[in-house]
């Protein structure tokens, strides 16, 4: 089923451009997910870092890993919310594993909108997890939603560009060495789908344009598709996944000053055709642990390299999705990657 198959929504021109990327949730039962991941349900001793993990989708994913016994590290700016979340995580773990007291639960503060603080944070995490023997799962959910009001960081960048693109690139690129130390390091990058084929790669800072929902999504979705392609090709020892959240029920619009249309329109859409953050968290867990069976593959095998036809991009129900034609082009990928390196000053060794 696609958006255009729903009479009420098919009259909206923008939605005709959106392919079936799992944005209309195909119900995946908890029983099915548990059956697929039965061998991976015990994550005791495994390390997971969730950026943007104090609220919304990030918090739900953090709890999904914590209840399976994983050592949980969450990063963000809200220490009070983090304290409450970690307390809940401990309770969930003890419900699953009575008497297990070796779980590590820790909050790390950082401002994801600043290149300088992303570098500080990522380097601290690299040192921390090197001492712990590696990072098994990196889940990145930090972000916001375009509301049409331009906001720049103290470093002079469009705020959501810094939060979505620079932050996640810096964190992932810096932590690649300690992801390689794990059994098979996995990255889950949760961000909107690259549903628009052509995006304005000459004006990524959106100068002279409104940073509204359309412009932000049409820019950032393809960038993260490209990041998935490039990270997987450049570092095949680590599994980098771009997972589209679709209309997931969170407090995102109520906490991001999005304006009347987006705030209530998005809320209504998620209520009608969306899924809960908890259900999406199980799908994120499912995608993250599906690679467990392949951890014995020799790193660098051609079969592990990402191609235009075999990219680790996933819809909101965990179904595989192909990257659109324009961001798949070699010259576009090279251009965006070079831009990320130049803008952040971070390269992959």
pLDDT (tens digit, 9 = 90+) per residue, 244-299?
887 666 665 445 555 555 555 555 665 666 678 899 999 999 999 987 755 444 33
What's the rounded Cα separation, in Å, for the pair 306 and 85? 35
Among the listed residues 157, 188, 214, the one whose alpha carbon sits nearest the alpha carbon of residue 13: 214
Q: What is the mean pLDDT of the chain?
A: 81
What's the rounded Cα separation, in Å, for the pair 87 and 90? 5
Element (H, E) at 149: none
CB burial class (10 A; 0-12, 13-18, 19+) of residue 323?
A: buried
Assign 132 a pLDDT band (cuts: 50, 70, 90): very high
Sign for the pseudo-dihedral over CA of 289, 292, 295, 300 = negative
CA dist 203 to 56, 158, 208, Å? 30, 11, 9
By the 8 A CB rule, do 25 and 319 touch?
no
Q: Which of 144-148, 263-267, 300-304 is predicted least confidently?
A: 300-304
DSSP string over 294-321: GTTSPTT-GGGS--SSS--EE-TTS-B-
CA dist 112 to 51, 104, 140, 169, 251, Å? 9, 23, 11, 11, 19
Q: Which residue has the higher pLDDT, 157 or 21?
A: 157
Q: What pLDDT sits at residue 183?
A: 80
Mean per-residue pLDDT, 59-66: 96
pTM over 0.75: yes
Helix 115-131, helix 167-181: angle, nearest 10: 10
Compute the half-sphere exposure of residue 12: CA atoms within 13 Å on the CB side of its CA: 12
Mean per-residue pLDDT, 102-114: 97
> Nearest 5°: phi and psi at 21?
-110, 25
Q: Which of 41-45, 82-86, 168-172, 328-332 is predicted least confidently?
A: 41-45
Q: What pLDDT sits at residue 14?
A: 40
What's the rounded Cα separation, in Å, for the pair 32 and 238? 26
Q: How far is CA 38 from the centre of its chain?
A: 23
pLDDT digits (tens, 9 = 90+) for 226-245: 999 999 999 999 999 999 88
Q: What pLDDT sits at residue 216?
A: 92
Mean per-residue pLDDT, 84-106: 95
Q: What pLDDT sits at residue 198?
A: 84
What's the rounded Cα separation, in Å, for the pair 35 and 332? 40
């Amino acid at each position: 089923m696609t958006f255009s198959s729903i009479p009420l929504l098919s009259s909206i021109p923008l939605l005709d451009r959106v392919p079936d990327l799992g944005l209309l949730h195909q119900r995946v039962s908890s029983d099915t997910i548990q059956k697929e991941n039965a061998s991976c349900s015990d994550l005791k001793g495994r390390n997971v870092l969730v950026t943007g993990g104090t609220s919304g989708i990030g918090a739900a994913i953090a709890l999904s890993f914590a209840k399976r016994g994983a050592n949980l590290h969450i990063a963000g700016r809200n220490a009070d919310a983090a304290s409450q979340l970690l307390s809940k995580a401990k309770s969930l773990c003890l419900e699953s594993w009575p008497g297990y007291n070796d779980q590590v639960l820790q909050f790390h503060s950082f401002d994801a909108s600043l290149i300088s603080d992303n570098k500080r944070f990522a380097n601290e995490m690299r040192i921390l997890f090197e001492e712990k023997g590696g990072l098994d799962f990196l889940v990145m959910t930090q972000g916001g939603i375009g509301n049409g009001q331009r906001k720049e960081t103290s470093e002079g960048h469009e705020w959501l560009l810094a939060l979505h693109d620079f932050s996640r690139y810096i964190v992932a690129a810096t932590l690649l060495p300690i992801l390689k130390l794990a059994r098979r390091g996995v990255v889950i990058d949760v961000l909107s789908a690259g549903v628009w084929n052509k995006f304005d790669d000459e004006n990524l800072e959106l100068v002279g344009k409104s940073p509204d929902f359309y412009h932000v999504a049409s820019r950032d979705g393809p960038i993260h598709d490209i990041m998935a392609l490039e990270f997987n090709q450049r570092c095949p020892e680590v599994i980098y996944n771009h997972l589209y959240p679709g209309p997931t029920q969170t407090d995102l619009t109520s906490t991001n000053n999005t304006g009347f249309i987006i705030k209530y329109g998005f809320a209504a859409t998620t209520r009608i055709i969306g899924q809960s953050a908890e259900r999406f968290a199980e799908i994120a867990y499912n995608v993250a642990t599906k690679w467990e069976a392949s951890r014995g593959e020799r790193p660098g095998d051609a079969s592990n390299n990402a191609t235009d036809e075999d990219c680790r991009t996933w819809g909101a129900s965990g179904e595989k999705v192909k990257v659109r034609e324009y961001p798949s082009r070699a010259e576009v990928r090279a251009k965006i990657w070079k831009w990320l390196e130049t803008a952040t000053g971070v390269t992959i060794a």
